[in-house]
Structure 1
């Protein structure tokens, strides 16, 4: 579909022959995906034995998204943010306060995540250098100075064209820790990217509800985690709005009513910085605290509020600890102590068949079978 959209634009602009139009459309898509590759990676497809590549095809259209088990990734765009990346960006950012390991939460590209069964993506945007385009950040860490939000949206569009049975949820948050301005221009840029002619074909256009899998297949569903401070109140909204002032920082139980009329509620666990332990408590205690908070929230999802949205973040860090417990250590352990992901795998397997909701993971693929356990395969 994406090449057809660009094909129609080429036809209008150039009046070219059909073969030339197709060539131009394909070339335009290739250029866009290449520019977005520091975030997107490259789509190498799925193995024939993959259980997770098109796993949603086995669910009926009538399935409500809030009743599904959806594996997601926390800070999904950070896979390429190594120490070498951080060092190469000093001319843009200056020295970072923390090493790259504090910011890196994934090690597989967006395309690899999609092919690996991930269906919910946690992305943070702000200005790229020059304040003319929007890109991706994790706190003050600039992830790729030339890749844009628009490029990455096209990557999702192209993947969905190849996997029309699948539905993808995008949680998008404004990254306030970048030091770049929050102004009318920024809001207009992101608003236009969500509402232009191409976006209208690929984003679910309903507001205030997540709806059914059938309505969401082949499309992106929007979870808006930022407010519009400068655009008028009449600005079109897509998906559901999870206001940042209600998304309480570093909290194990968050409750947000995202549709007042129908009393639709999101329950969220986002206890990401272990703050109840003394400095030097070590990996074992930090990991156990995080595991306890996450599984308590997922347990609630299995028992209560069947038509409410549950989002549980299995991701965390404790950079105040000495040495720091990085996202990788918290997720995967330190070689001696198992991480949250290793502990979560058997816990989920023991509860196969229950509703877990959305589970957001760091380093999602390193523990074999974890994504399948989230889905319930």
Structure 2
């Protein structure tokens, strides 16, 4: 009997393994993970062991190495070492379990990656009574992905396709954050209001309840293609649930239960951003998305309800005979019906009919238009090489030079900063909603969706991101919004004299905040304190500091939760009381006090020394409100028009602040997701612009036939922008 048992087991294994299958070509790195066309069509004999093709993916931004660390009872082992270049995949490697030894076959592998924690994976391979499965024994969660997909089990060809991924693990926690924040509400909504789906006139299915649902992302990555604006997303999801349904097939009705355990799905999709040419992020509807790979494995499946099987047979006949056979069902999905299923998924994506929205040319501006000189600036900027900067002594008090003091405002070159306060942010959206990025206000960044059945996350806002994705999104927005690299005091000491400040009133906090989409860390009180520190540190100087406060909400009333109303007049007097801190240094031009739309151009011939009177001065200007004192209601310097005639002899401003396109923003976000890290985009733009700033100013003046006095920049400390502008006063 003892000698018969091994023979019986061997016979069982032999009956279950696949017949001969085609060989696999030599490994090589392929574009777009397009390795299927590398297979040979010639069929050669294989052994009787369970067989698989292995595909190995490197989703890191650096080269890595796949290493097989051990083998046990493998008749054809995995490769010992496979080097993989950045963002690449191997072609297939054929492996096979031993068919002659009635014991479990297995192997172990790991990845040599930039991670501080090494992943160690054990893979078992075999058919009943043995198993095919894996265990991740060590390593950082989300950095290793595995899917063991049934292929042509018990048929001609390989038995499995094994997919092994290694990547930075950024996306997995973000996807799970969304799932955790919303699935409770989805399942509660189904239980409270069952969802009926009519497949045709004869068939409908009503989903009544999901019992003990578990949906997790085990691995996800995003990788760039060599082609511009093309990206690939990989994701592996695990699903376990018991689904209670009511099904109708013609005149027959029946309650049914579908039980799924350890359903794993690998999805690969390509995203194309080539059509995102607008400066309005609402045009993300122009992203092209197509699913290129769908592979599955199923641990267990059970169907309680004969009519449900009949419905499957009527709608998709090929699945009906295998509906209760998890391996065979997954095999059909992965192989014979895979192309058809992918086609249906992509048709469904296309049928969503996403709308294209109207383009906008401004970078993050609310209802008040932000005029810039970007068009003309971009025409000239590419033709210049960086200029040599004039060394400026005492840059922190450059205006106090007697030569500078003698110049009228029309002859001065004044360096300014755009969004001067946007150097650090809280992870909170401002109360000033920007139309270009209005979708950001449709998100809830921290709380889960209500799970009492009253909220439908699929059709209702806010969209709940969960705390992990919420914080990540805020950080990404900060990389886009950051316009300066240092605080107001550093800018003052660096020679900046005009400050673009976007201030709003928060009635709940009774505080004046600054903002650039996100709420900046610097409140108005903080900013004034930094200015005061500078003034007191330079008591003998004669500097003119212009605080240009705009994009405000000071003209509206506020109603608190308890019904208290704070009127616009009260807000304006609160503002006036706040800026009174600098009252001893305030400069008010003649005839400007309490004047609506003061004509700032009347100051063009005023010498600087007449304004400063030998001491530091602060000029508050605000285009939004008229105050009886301290602040002047005016637009200040005029923007040089990008077309048409420019009147000569006025006070003019240009801003080299860059407009970011959706492609630039999305590529930056995707660089973060693929492990490269996000950059401060406005700094990247400034690195090219600020070094050529002097030539740009001179070319604008030649083109328009008039002098420019105020030049505002992003990232003032990059490429010596301020020194270049101040140096023009000495040329």
User: For this structure pair, what is the TM-score category when the shorter chain's length is used for normalisation?
Assistant: 0.5 to 0.7
Q: Is structure 2 residue 618 aligned with structure 1 residue 220?
A: yes
Q: Look up the match of 1:309.
A: 651
Whole-Å Cα distance in 2 between the matches of residues 105 and 171 of structure 1? Answer: 16
Does the Cα contact within 8 Å between 1:126 and 1:180 map onto a contact in 2? Answer: no
Per-residue CA deviation, residues 47-80 of structure 1 (Å, 9 max, x unaligned), is: x985421111223544222431000000001112
Aligned to 1:372, the other structure's residue is in SS state helix
Q: Cα offset for 1:126?
A: 1.2
Q: Look up the match of 2:662.
A: 320
Aligned to 1:142, the other structure's residue is in SS state strand
Whole-Å Cα distance in 1 between the matches of residues 621 and 696 of structure 2? Answer: 28
Of residues 196, 205, 209 in structure 1, which corresponds to 2:588?
205
Does the Cα contact within 8 Å between 2:479 and 2:681 map onto a contact in 1? Answer: no
Q: Look up the match of 2:520.
A: 143
Per-residue CA deviation, residues 338-360 of structure 1 (Å, 9 max, x unaligned), is: 632233244457899x9431001
Of residues 168, 186, 194 in structure 1, which corresponds to 2:545?
168
Q: Quick check: which one's strand share is greater?
A: 2
Whole-Å Cα distance in 2 between the matches of residues 359 and 312 of structure 1? Answer: 5
Does the Cα contact within 8 Å between 1:349 and 1:373 map onto a contact in 2? Answer: no
Aligned to 1:143, the other structure's residue is in SS state strand
Of residues 52, 59, 75 in structure 1, which corresponds to 2:395?
52
Aligned to 1:86, the other structure's residue is in SS state strand
Distance of aligned partners of 1:205 and 1:106 in 2 relative to their CA distance in 1, 3 Å threshold: same
Q: Look up the match of 1:67.
A: 411
Aligned to 2:492, the other structure's residue is in SS state helix
Distance of aligned partners of 1:241 and 1:169 in 2 relative to their CA distance in 1, 3 Å threshold: same
Q: Look up the match of 1:360.
A: 712
Aligned to 1:367, the other structure's residue is in SS state helix
Distance of aligned partners of 1:51 and 1:152 in 2 relative to their CA distance in 1, 3 Å threshold: same
Q: Cα offset for 1:148?
A: 3.4
Q: Look up the match of 2:477.
A: 99
Aligned to 1:102, the other structure's residue is in SS state helix
Whole-Å Cα distance in 1 between the matches of residues 607 and 632 of structure 2? Answer: 12
Distance of aligned partners of 1:218 and 1:159 in 2 relative to their CA distance in 1, 3 Å threshold: same
Does the Cα contact within 8 Å between 1:348 and 1:373 map onto a contact in 2? Answer: no
Q: Look up the match of 2:460.
A: none
User: What is the root-mean-square deviation of aligned Cα atoms in Å?
Assistant: 4.1
Per-residue CA deviation, residues 313-348 of structure 1 (Å, 9 max, x unaligned), is: 1102224335459895456449xxx63223324445
Does the Cα contact within 8 Å between 2:552 and 2:624 map onto a contact in 1? Answer: no
Aligned to 2:502, the other structure's residue is in SS state strand
Q: Quick check: which one's helix share is greater?
A: 1
Aligned to 2:491, the other structure's residue is in SS state helix
Equivalence map 1:1-20=2 (5 Å):
none
Whole-Å Cα distance in 2 between the matches of residues 238 and 186 of structure 1? Answer: 14
Whole-Å Cα distance in 1 between the matches of residues 543 and 407 of structure 2? Answer: 13
Equivalence map 1:283-294=2 (5 Å):
none
Whole-Å Cα distance in 2 between the matches of residues 325 and 120 of structure 1? Answer: 32
Which of structures 1 and 2 has the bigger CA Rg? 2
Q: Look up the match of 2:512.
A: 134
Does the Cα contact within 8 Å between 2:656 and 2:714 map onto a contact in 1? Answer: yes
Of stretches 158-167 and 209-218 in structure 1, the one that deviates more from structure 2 is: 209-218
Aligned to 1:107, the other structure's residue is in SS state coil
Whole-Å Cα distance in 1 between the matches of residues 667 and 621 of structure 2? Answer: 29
Aligned to 1:241, the other structure's residue is in SS state coil
Distance of aligned partners of 1:269 and 1:130 in 2 relative to their CA distance in 1, 3 Å threshold: farther
Structure with the larger RCO, 1 or 2 (CA within 8 Å, 6+ apart)? 1
Q: Cα offset for 1:227?
A: 2.5
Q: Look up the match of 1:45.
A: none
Q: Cα offset for 1:199?
A: 3.3
Whole-Å Cα distance in 2 between the matches of residues 361 and 267 of structure 1? Answer: 16
Q: Is structure 2 residue 578 aligned with structure 1 residue 183?
A: no
Aligned to 1:152, the other structure's residue is in SS state helix
Of residues 424, 433, 446 in structure 2, which corresponds to 1:80?
424
Whole-Å Cα distance in 1 between the matches of residues 576 and 446 of structure 2? Answer: 29
Q: Cα offset for 1:180?
A: 9.7
Distance of aligned partners of 1:324 and 1:221 in 2 relative to their CA distance in 1, 3 Å threshold: farther
Q: Cα offset for 1:226?
A: 1.4
Q: Which runs of 5+ in 1 are unaligned?
A: 1-47, 229-233, 243-257, 259-265, 271-292
Q: Is structure 2 residue 690 aligned with structure 1 residue 341?
A: yes
Whole-Å Cα distance in 1 between the matches of residues 396 and 583 of structure 2? Answer: 25
Does the Cα contact within 8 Å between 1:319 and 1:325 map onto a contact in 2? Answer: no
Q: Cα offset for 1:202?
A: 1.4
Q: Look up the match of 1:285.
A: none
Q: Is structure 2 residue 372 aligned with structure 1 residue 372?
A: no
Distance of aligned partners of 1:357 and 1:166 in 2 relative to their CA distance in 1, 3 Å threshold: same
Q: Look up the match of 2:46.
A: none
Aligned to 1:99, the other structure's residue is in SS state helix
Aligned to 2:500, the other structure's residue is in SS state strand
